[in-house]
Structure formats: C-alpha cells, structure tokens
Structure 1
Amino acid sequence: MRTAPLGRGGVRATRLALGCAALGNLYRPVDDETAAATVDAAWDAGIRTFDTAPHYGLGLSERRLGAALRGRPRDTYTVSTKVGRLLVPYDGGGAGDDLAHGFAVPATHRRVWDFSGDGVRRSLEASLERLGLDRVDIVLLHDPDDHAEQALREGYPALERLRGEGVVGAIGVGMNQCALPARFLRETDIDVVLLAGRYTLLEQEGLAELLPEAAARGRSVVIGGVFNSGLLTDPGPGATYDYAPAPQAVLDRALRLKAVAERHGVALRSAALHFPFGHPAVASVLTGARSPEEVRDSVAQLRRPVPDAFWHELRAEVLLDPHAPVPSVR
C-alpha cells in the first residue's frame, strides 16, 4: 500500500490507517481474538499505520495493539498514540463500567486532563509500557478543546523536545474541530493534524482554513471519521452523526448523497473513503474497525474507482463545496 510523508520529517503513513478505538471496546465488547485478528487483517491488506490512545478503553486499545504487533519488525510499521488524558487508578479498583465515556470496559481508572510538560511525558511513558514498545512514531495532543493555552504553551513544547531528542518522529494534534488545529499550524511547528469528521463527503468545514493552512506550510492532515459516525455507511432511520442520532436535515443530505452514488454504481462508503484524497494536504485516511471483515471491506472500497461523473453530479446538485478538490480516476 502506498505511503505518504507526514510533514517534513521522516515518518510516513500508509494511504489507509487503522483506527484502534474499537479495540478498546468502543460502545460494545470485542474479544481478544477478534481484536488480534482485526490487526492481522489490516497487516495482510498492506496497512502499516495504526492509531490508538490511552482514552480508548482506559488503555485496553494500546495493550491489544501492542500485543498484536509484537514479533513484527519494528521498522516496518508506524504507531500513533496521544497525550492529554492521564489514567489514574481508582482507590480499591473502581466499580461499574466506562460506558459513560463510550467504552465497554470496567471503570478501573479515571481520566485526568493534563497538557503540562510533565503530564505529556508521564502519559507517553505509560503508553509505551502498555504498547510494549520503546518508541512510538507519532504523538498527538488529544482533544485539547478546553485546554488550548496549556496545550500550546506547555504540551506542545514538551512534544517538540521529545521530537528533537529522537524519542518520537512526528508530533501534532488530534481533534474534531478546525479552529484550534489551524491555530497550531500557524503558531507551532507540528507535523500533522488528525482531523475527525470535519472534512468528509457530508461536510467540508476543514476546507475553509485548516487544509489550506496545512498545504501552504508543508504539513500533513490525516482524515478520520470519514463516515461521520456511521451515517455515510448506510443512511436511514436511526443512523448516527457525531455520535448521536442524526438530525433530519443531515440525514436527508446523506440520503441525497446515497442516491447520486447509486446512480453511478458507487457504494456511498467507497465515495466517502476516496473523497479526502482530492486535497493535496491529505496524507492518509484513518478508519476504525472492530472485525477483520470491516477492515477488508474498507480496503476493497478504497480500491474501487469512483467515476469523475459522480463528483460532477455532486457539484451540480450542490451537495459538495464548489471549491473542494476531488480525486480523479485519471
């Protein structure tokens, strides 16, 4: 599978990356065997970039990913993890589950926001232990929405030092919004932005500022959430958008997208996977999976060409920002 550089450093990402939140039992349990088989399926398909975080299942995702990659040559894959939430054990081991945060795991720890320099280092050290690795390739400041100043003034400089020391290869920020990552691009020397849900076939908010800023500065963007919480896999009653039931207007737009796709013999999820690659700043698309079948489907959909006529009709139907660059079969 093709790779692309992340920013100006030496770290590269495969065109399709595996998001590992589901390996942390996102919404519902995944057993150990299925989690391992999911990583194996990604590997067999040529995927060599894997994204995880302490937040995902209170460390379960990191532990499972590390176990699944163990034994594979370390220089053949890229691992991304995140900092900003320290996992602090509850006294007595805690009680109940973590479903309030979206993960079907025992609530053994609490998350403590910390974007200080010390917090960044402590978080990374704990992640390396859970992963069973001596280094990771990419470290991202994770959702610093309400902690912007600390993340900029303390967290980012700590990551910059770690990059300078060679402890990590690339640094950046991972968020579900555009304004703060654009500020990071202007004010810091990050390599990459992981942008979730804000540059998709359904909405192109990232096109206004973030993506042009990244392209102008030679930085890279990894696009996550291309299915908008599942809405673009199969829009219909009960479909979710931004992790909640889709508003009717949003659902109607997704159904119009699906109708255009069907007229051109294209699966909507295939078009959703292809779309971000039209922009020159996009290096990789990150998709989550909770089974080998989901991995294989994403790879198959990305391999299917989307005809130029599909994009032309989307523009004619005013279903796509007129300035959004699109991939071309040519």
Structure 2
Amino acid sequence: MKNSSQKSRFSGLMNYIGLLGALVAMCALFSFLSENFLTLETFKTLSNDIPTLVVMAVGMTFVLIIGGIDLSVGSVMALAASVLSTAMVQWGWSLFPACVLGVLAATLCGVVTGSISVGWRIPSFIVSLGVLEMARGLAYQVTDSRTVYIGSAVESISSPIFLGLSPAFIASVLIVVGGHLLLTKTVIGRHWIGIGTNEEAMRLAGINPRPSKIMVFALMGLLAGIGALFQVSRLEAADPNGGVGLELQVIAAVVIGGTSLMGGRGSVISTFIGVLIISILAAGLAQVGVSEPMKRIITGLVIVGAVVFDAYRRRNERAA
C-alpha cells in the first residue's frame, strides 16, 4: 500500500513537471516566433480572459474523475448568463440577487443531469446532450433570442485591480486552490476518486456512490454559473448563443492536464496548467498569424496526443 502511494505521488510529480516543461517550451517557442508575445500586456490579457474556462475546468475535472462527462456546460453557462442579465435589465434586480439566480439556474441543470444519469443509470454524456439542448432553448426563451446588454453594472468583476489582475482571475485561482484541497484533503474527495476507480468496490465497502455523483454534477453546474458571471462581466452583455463549443475547450484543458477520461485519476492543479497550455497555444498561434482552420487542426492534434499519452500511461501502469 505504501509503495502504491509513493508511486502515485511520483507519477503526479512527473505529470506536473511534464506540463510545466511543455508550458515553458511553448512560451519560448512563441516568444521566438513573435517579438510581441513575451510581454506583460500579453499575459495580463490572457489572465483576464481565462477565469470562465478555469472554473468550469475545475468542475469538469471532478466529473471526469468519477467516470462521467458533462457536454452541456456551454449551454448551461449561456442559460445562467441569460437569467442573470434578464433579471438585471428587465426585472430591475441588483447585481447580487441576479447573480444568485443565475448560479442557481445553472446548479439546477447540474442536479437534473446528475439525478437522471445516476437514478436511471444512463450514461451521463447522453443525458447531458439532452440538457445541452434544453438549456440552450431556455436561454433563447429568456432573452427572446437577443443579446442582452447590461453595461457597466457588472464590469468591476473583470476590471484589473492589482498588478493588472481582475477579481474574476483572483477568484478563479482561489477556486482552483479550494478544488485541489477538496479533492486531496477531504473524505468526499477520496470518495470521488474511489468511485471513478472502482464504483462496485465502494458499494461493497458500504458507501453509497449515488449522492456523491449527483453532488459532482451539481457542483459542475454551480461552477458553470460562476463562469457565466465572469463572462458577462467581461462582455457587459449576455448572448444566448454564447458558449457554443465551450464544453470541448473545457474537456480539452482537463485532458491535457492529465485527468483520465476513464475516471479515477486527476488533479485540479494539473487542470489549471492545462488551461494555461490551451490558452497560450491559442494566443501564440494567433500572434504568429496562423489561420483559424490551422489553429483548430493544431489544437486538435494536441488534444489527441494528450489522450494517446494517457492511454499509454495507463497501459504501463497496469503492466507494472
């Protein structure tokens, strides 16, 4: 048992080193290709663009660890943003209760996905596809299929306040730290890892995995709602078409960070580095003038490479 724990720690350390090495190499490459890349302004812009992706990637890390997947997060984020903006603009609500309502709407979507998937033992990707369509449709209904402009009432959340960093970025980093502690230092975190590793063994140990799994999907919804708040504050508007394809970016960042698609293994810190990698890759490719189709091809190759590497690592672990 001790050897297994030491192996796990060593594997996690090597994963951190590998990801940080890739991040440094990528920064070095783009700074060589573009003289404007390695500047303070670039990294300020990046740091204030990523909070939505960061918080949603934390939630997706938990979902993948328990062996699930949630494809609805982009639409759920759009719904939360639509509810928030409509409450402020049309109903005259102040910022705080409107934010609470938007986050609650997103959390409810997560509860629905988790309850149906767990209660009826339906694969979560199928259920979340249905929730994806429903959430998007509700976003259109709430906004009457139009972008809702809020204005400066929400801009303070994404306005730089300290060293060029915004409250949204600082909050997203705190969520990463909290997510890491939740996963590694609490009983519920160990339960999630155990569920993803061997759910039947957890049942035989007298632990009911159902409440924990539903909680993870609810948490994913809640974090999608917080991500919606960050996005609305940055754009000062809510677009019912917003977040289309965002679930793919979220999953890509988590997979690049080393979380297994098969469940049972993952790290919130690694996911954060994965978000940085995918964001720096996109920014660097844009600065060197790579076309949009080629950017997508390169990003796709990186994701496929991460999945292949994960499969290779799992095979070696089984052989050992």
TM over 0.5: no
| TM value normalised by structure 1 | 0.27
Q: Which protein has the bigger helix share?
A: 2
User: Higher relative CO (CA 8 A, sep ≥ 6), structure 1 or 2?
Assistant: 2
Q: Which protein has the bigger strand share?
A: 1
